[in-house]
Amino acid sequence: MIPFSPPRIDQKVIDEVVDTLRSGWITTGRKTRLFEQNLTKYCGNKKTLCVSSATAGLELMLRWFGVTEGDEVIVPAFTYCATANVIMHCGAKPVMVDINENDFNISVTKIKEAITEKTKVIMPVDIGGYPCDYDQIYELVNRSEAKKQFKPNSEIQKKLNRILILSDAAHSLGAIYRGKKTGCCADITVFSFHAVKNLTTAEGGAIALNLPFPFDNEDIYHYLSTLALHGQSKDALAKTQLGGWKYDIIEAGYKINMPDILASIGLVELFRYDNDSLVKRKSIFDYYNSELSKYEWAIIPQHFTKEKSSSYHLYQLRIKGLDELTRDLIIQQVNQNRVSVNVHFQPLPLFSFYKNLGYKIEDYPTAYKNYACEISLPVFYDITPVQMKRVIDILVKAVQELL
């Protein structure tokens, strides 16, 4: 069976994890802080906090910004459920908008139409690792009309005095937008290091702070570090110092810190990310592109332009003229031939929870159209040329038989 996206676990990863185990310190400590520092250097943003997941990071930042009941947060209808779920957790309303047809990302035109005086945050999502149109989104929120509409209800919101751009970059570590790596394209960027991501720590995520003046990103980092650990004034490492047992609780915080044992994996993966992992992922994309471009029915995913470069996370093939039912039959046939493929993503209005809240897929025609004809192909570090050829052969056979 050719799997879809297994993690890369080799001897370097094992050795680093064993080193952590032998150190006797496996919760948040020196390796987590080193991983944070290395991520900041890599992305070029101002400060980075590692957390237990991207989902936790997104919710933490919404709560930090003061998003609450009555507020609205604009998100694409085409994304994983976590993007919208965290808004619900805060008591706010996800305002879903449609996407671009060519790249799956949120439509700036639709964002403009959705902004109201209740809008506090825009959460663009770099689907598949391909960056959104950040400069155009910033143009929107900095327009005098949008600023006049903005109604701050917290001191932090007053300080920013506009809609916050909180990027869900779960897929796009290492992607480039106009010469900048994701992590410094938005006010705040949140990454995922889940098991299926390009760079994994098994579970985990990171908050890349890049807030403008007059915000002090260093101070915000320290506050968030406290908030991510029950609001405790000292972490476990600080409490081990002589006489350091006593601490304070300054706020009712959360338990979403990343431990050293997970950061160990991240340290290895980040060290070899640009020169090894991304090179391999790009070569897989290039092979798929070369083989599939022979077929008129294949819509090759956009992953590189003059201004943007993907992180090559998902190979989202679309097939011309394909409907949802036939797409599902193609997937079934491919799976029966022991090749794993997937679909990214089911638009949120298709799910019962959001349907029951009144969201209708008919309001997002492009999201549905792209979903209905999309099949994600396997992309992982250890896939072999023989396996890649088999993926294409099996897929082409299924499409030509069923289309």
- Predicted structure pTM score: 0.97
Domains 11-271 and 277-402 share a fold: no
Question: What is the CATH code for 11-271?
Answer: 3.40.640.10
The one-digit pLDDT tens for each residue of the chain (403 residues) are: 999 999 999 999 999 999 999 999 999 999 999 999 999 999 999 999 999 999 999 999 999 999 999 999 999 999 999 999 999 999 999 999 999 999 999 999 999 999 999 999 999 999 999 999 999 999 999 999 999 999 999 999 999 999 999 999 999 999 999 999 999 999 999 999 999 999 999 999 999 999 999 999 999 999 999 999 999 987 877 767 777 788 899 999 999 999 999 999 999 999 999 999 999 999 999 999 999 999 999 999 999 999 999 999 999 999 999 999 999 999 999 999 999 999 999 999 999 999 999 999 999 999 999 999 999 999 999 999 999 999 999 999 999 999 8
| Whole-number pLDDT of residue 51 | 98
In degrees and rounded to multiples of 5, residue 309 shows phi and psi of -135, 130
Q: Where are the domains of the chain?
A: 11-271, 277-402
Question: What is the CATH code for 277-402?
Answer: 3.90.1150.10
